[in-house]
Amino acid sequence: MHPTTIVHIDIDYFYAQVEEILNPQLKNVPVGIQQKNCLVTCNYKAREYGITKLANLQKAQALCPDLVLVNGEDLTKYKKMSDEIFNVLQTFTQNVEKLGMDENYLDVSELVNARQNEDCKEIETGTFKLDLDGEGEECDCGCSERLKIGTKIAKELRQALFDRLGITSCAGIAHNKLLAKLVGAQNKPNKQTVIFPHQSTSFLSSQGPVRSLCGIGSKTAEILDSIGVNSVLDLQNIEISVLKKKFDDKTAERLKELSLGIDKSKVKPTGKPKSISIEDSTFQNPLKTILEIETKFNVLLTRLVDAAIFDKKRIPTSLRVTIRKTADIKEILQRESKQKDIPQSWSKIEDSVSIVALLHPIAMQLFKQIMKTDKSEFTITLVGVAFTKFIDENPVVKENSLKSESNSDVTPISKESDKSLADDKNQEECVKEPAMKKIKIDHDPSSSSTPSSSPSLNEVESKVQEKSKPLLIPDFTIPSDLDTKTFNGLSKREKKRIMIELQDAHKIVFIKERFRVTDEKQNELNVMTESQYS
């Protein structure tokens, strides 16, 4: 029996498409999204030149001299679009599970059952159906008819996203999450594909490496490789008794089921995030004075308030501050945090500048508690702020918030999703390259924001880059003294962030050794740096 109908929605080239929606002038031109010194993704126009995700910046511009680079380090706009996508999908069903910013699972079984009386002998027009050899016999439980209705619902979901948000997406339709995700990737962009249960084994046998199966990470793949299992087909053919010699019974059975297209995991509706956080790594230019810390908190708190305004039905009642007070690469994983309840009266303040003025002294108090000293100088390489302990209410906060130019990440921290086989996939390394000239993109020239007395990070960064000349940096390797056990236990997002920080630190050390410069001359170097506030 295959009673469920699952739709997997994957937004096409998410970051770059959001930029195209915000600035239509970017449509039909090659666009790359840059974070730090990595080209994290690009649109399909750029891919026509051979540019790929996590591409080398210098190589990408060599392939496409007209590539437009947009700074994507500020995730606010992407998070907002992700939330809007989620909200649109929830108008169809509450059974929506988010996967990052650009993917969602939907269990549409109830919608399908409610439409069983529809005459649906064929799949929805425009839906791709797999054509495989050795498919097996078609199931007689009625799942084929349900999946055909599912293709119609998938088309309606994608059409709703386009009509309301202007965003295109791909969809996979299947009777479980594993197959829905895998089959949805078969035809891109702006397409949908369906797979029927009797096709699953044949389809999976052609998927190649075992890592292509959702839930199998690097550690599991290494163990499988040690017993000669490299592909999904190998996993299908191996006796489960052999697997049980390397894994516990439950894991061995789970692996075997995945290879055959059996996935019993349910769509778990995503709830509201427990916290909203923003942080900036200052590893390249550590903060060393109270004035720099005060300025950094002003920037981060402004961004945090802007992010919180997206969720008008809940009020955070606590503020958390996170600090890393070392520039030693061996201790890059070390952070300290403290939090304090905040007055709920902030929700009745009508402008974000006043809200920041209320929160700023609390952040400074928490900072001093973490530092446990009244010293006026220190070395701070990471600063983070977060709202926590949300309560349900409708704060009267207007959306005329101060827009900051800081380069920092907005990260909703939600409940941990189940880890199928416990090990994360390895993050691809971003190769450090010389700072490249950027094309400044103004999303809304008519919009205004409260001017700041300090230069924005983007302004300072642009000035540094204008003076830059290419400088080749030796290949980066992970420090041998890094605590790999702690590192491997981190989330994929945190691993990526730390890898970028380590590479930045490597670049700084190389330049200082080569030119024998002091910290005071740091901003004169041709590297991408953050602003020094003074």
pLDDT at 315: 84
Task: Choose the catalytic residue: 97, 103, 292, 530.
Answer: 103
Q: Round to whole Å and give the CA distance between 6 and 436.
A: 43
Amino acid symbol at 18 = V
pLDDT at 395: 42
Q: Round to whole Å and give the CA distance between 207 and 188.
A: 17
Query: How far, CA to CA in Å, does 146 sit from each of 128, 264, 273, 282?
Result: 16, 18, 33, 53
Q: Known catalytic residue: 122?
A: no
pLDDT at 273: 75
Helical segments of 309-390, H only = 352-371
Q: Round to whole Å and give the CA distance between 32 and 43.
A: 7
Helical segments of 227-266, H only = 232-237, 240-243, 249-259
Digitized pLDDT (tens) for each residue of the chain, 534 residues in all:
799 999 999 999 999 999 999 999 999 999 999 987 789 999 999 999 999 988 888 899 999 999 999 999 888 899 889 999 999 999 999 999 999 999 999 999 999 999 887 766 788 888 888 877 666 667 777 788 999 999 999 999 999 999 999 999 999 999 999 999 999 999 999 999 999 999 999 999 999 999 999 889 889 999 999 999 999 999 999 999 999 999 999 999 999 999 999 999 999 999 877 888 888 887 778 888 899 999 999 999 988 888 776 566 678 889 999 999 876 766 667 889 999 999 877 777 777 888 899 999 999 999 999 998 666 678 898 899 999 988 876 444 433 333 333 333 333 333 333 333 333 333 333 333 333 333 333 333 333 333 333 333 344 334 334 433 333 444 445 555 566 666 666 766 666 666 666 655 554 444 444 444 444 443 333 333 333 333
pLDDT at 255: 96
Torsions phi, psi for 94 (to 5 deg): -85, -10
pLDDT tens readout for residues 393-421? 644 443 333 333 333 333 333 333 333 33
- Which are the contacts of 163, defined by CB distance < 8 A and separation ≥ 6? none
- Which are the contacts of 402, defined by CB distance < 8 A and separation ≥ 6? 302, 306, 351, 352, 353, 356, 449, 450
pLDDT at 460: 35
Q: What domains sit in the chain, N to C, each tagged with a CATH number?
A: 6-206 (3.30.70.270), 207-266 (1.10.150.20), 275-392 (3.30.1490.100)
Residue that is written with structure tokens 């090990």 in the block: 423
Query: How far, CA to CA in Å, does 263 sit from each of 110, 212, 253, 324, 383?
Result: 19, 15, 11, 41, 41
Dihedral, CA of residue 199, residue 201, residue 203 and residue 207, to nearest 10 = 170
Torsions phi, psi for 182 (to 5 deg): -65, -40
pLDDT at 101: 93
